[in-house]
Every structure is written in structure tokens, then in C-alpha cells.
Amino acid sequence: MTAGSGSIQVRTLFISDVHLGTRGCQADALIDFIRVYDAQTIYLVGDIIDGWRLRAVWHWPQAHNDVVQKILRKVRKGTRLVYVPGNHDEFLRDYAGSTFGGIEIVEEAIHETADGRRMLILHGDKFDTIVRNVRWLALLGDWAYDAAIWINRWIARIRRAFDLPYWSFSAWSKQKVKRAVNFISAFEQAVAMEGRKHEADIVLCGHIHRPAYQQMGDILYVNTGDWVESNSAVVEHPDGRLELVYWTDSSKAVLAGPAQATRWRPAA
């Protein structure tokens, strides 16, 4: 379906790790994505607003406000919105179980897909021992991550000047550092185990900024990724089929899921 003939209708949309309030947030790309995809239900799976960074340095450009307004507009038009706070927007956890302006705030959620599968939805920070036990080290790592994102922006500008595709320095760094690779593997195993405890068929999370769609034994592990590096989200189609969507720029999406990856290009 092209943009000229209307939005893409999906059953459910899962978005996490937007980090509104930081310079690394790809707000314009997210606005384009939300404009194209229209869902009956939207799950915001944590770290939508970066309270950690906003407390230190206030950064809130118009594009970040536009993201909030566009999401709220969908709620006013009847979209169900469920907010699962993460560690960067943990101030909202005090309101878990409450509903404000049509926004449901919950610690975790159980979602049933159209084809009858049980999905556990959580942010995932409770499985990150650094965040749970050594908060000052987590904050230090957060600043280092921002430095990597700053490097990303300059690399992206240079690559665009030479008409080269996007390449993420921070994602490459995480893949190359053995400890980071080991952490990601342990994190995924821990999240999958939590899904089994809840007798789920699928477990969906965010937090580590690493998009994933992989079968782990008897459970499907799905990570929504983020809107800082990967510009990715997960959609559930009307038949219950899940796809991991990479929004590579304002005019192109790459879909990855159980089927072979496909491309969709809106009309100019």
C-alpha cells in the first residue's frame, strides 16, 4: 500500500527506546513511521522519554514534541495505548495500574495475538544487573553511549555526502566487544526464561537497543530495537503474523520476520 492510498493497517504496534529528550533520538524518522502505520493497539515498551538525560540537560526540540502529539492524536481517534515504562522513564512506574487520558500504564503486559499466541511484554531492564545493582556505572555507560551516538552522526553525514548507506558505529562497537556480546546473549536467555515462567509463546522487550526476532527453543524472543541506532519497531498484522520493521529513512522500510525480508517504498 502506498502513502497516497492511506496508511498501512496493522493490529498492533510495538515501539521502545525512543529516548525523547536526547540528541540521538531519531524523532523525524519515528514521525514518518507513525504516519504510515496505523494500529488498533500501540504498546510503548519503555524508555520513550529519557528522564535521566532531561534531569541533567534539557533538550526538547519541536520534533520530540511532535512525536508526543502524533501519538496522543491516535489515542483521541480510538487507538488503545499501553505504556510499559523502562529504566529511563522509571518515574512513570509509580503510576502503574493507572490510566491517564486513555494511556494505560503497566509494569508488564500480556498480549494475545490474533492467531492465539500468548505474548509477555516487558522493557527488560530488570534483567540488566548493571542497571539494577550499580546505578552509577549504568549512568556512566549512558554518557559513553551518547558519545558513540555523536560519532554516529558525523559518520552518517560523511557517508551521506558520498552516497553510502547508513552504518552504525555504536552498533558495530557492541558487536565487537566480547563482554557486550556475552551480556546480550545472557540478557536474551534471561528474558526468554521469564517468558517461560509466564507460560508465554512469545516474549517481547526492548532496553538493549538490539533488534531481534529469533526462536529460542520453545519461545519466540522479539526485541523491538530502538529509535536511536536501528530505527526499528515490531508490527502485528491482522492475522497475528509478527514482523520486525527497520525504518531506514523517510522513504523506505525493510521488513524482517518469519518470511524472507521484503521492501516497501511509499509514494514520493
List the pLDDT tens digit at each of the 268 positions of the chain: 433 346 899 999 999 999 999 988 999 999 999 999 999 999 999 999 999 989 989 999 999 999 999 999 999 999 999 999 999 999 999 999 999 999 999 999 999 999 999 999 999 999 876 445 444 444 545 655 666 666 666 666 776 777 777 666 555 555 554 455 567 778 898 999 999 999 999 999 999 888 999 999 999 999 999 999 889 999 999 999 999 999 975 445 555 555 333 333 333 2
For the chain, the residue count is 268
CATH of the domain at 225: 3.60.21.10
Residue 98 lies in a domain: yes
The number of distinct structural domains making up the chain is 1
pLDDT of residue 185: 79
CA dihedral 2, 117, 90, 124 (to 10 degrees): -100
Residue 158 lies in a domain: yes
pLDDT of residue 91: 95
pLDDT of residue 154: 65
Residue 1 lies in a domain: no
- Domain hosting 72: range is 7-264
Residue 262: what residue type?
Answer: T
Q: What is the pTM of this model?
A: 0.79
Residue 2 lies in a domain: no
Separation CA 58–CA 17 (nearest Å): 18
pLDDT of residue 243: 96
Residue 85 lies in a domain: yes
Residue 119 lies in a domain: yes
Residue 237 lies in a domain: yes
Residues 6+ apart with CB under 8 A from 94: none
Residue 56 lies in a domain: yes
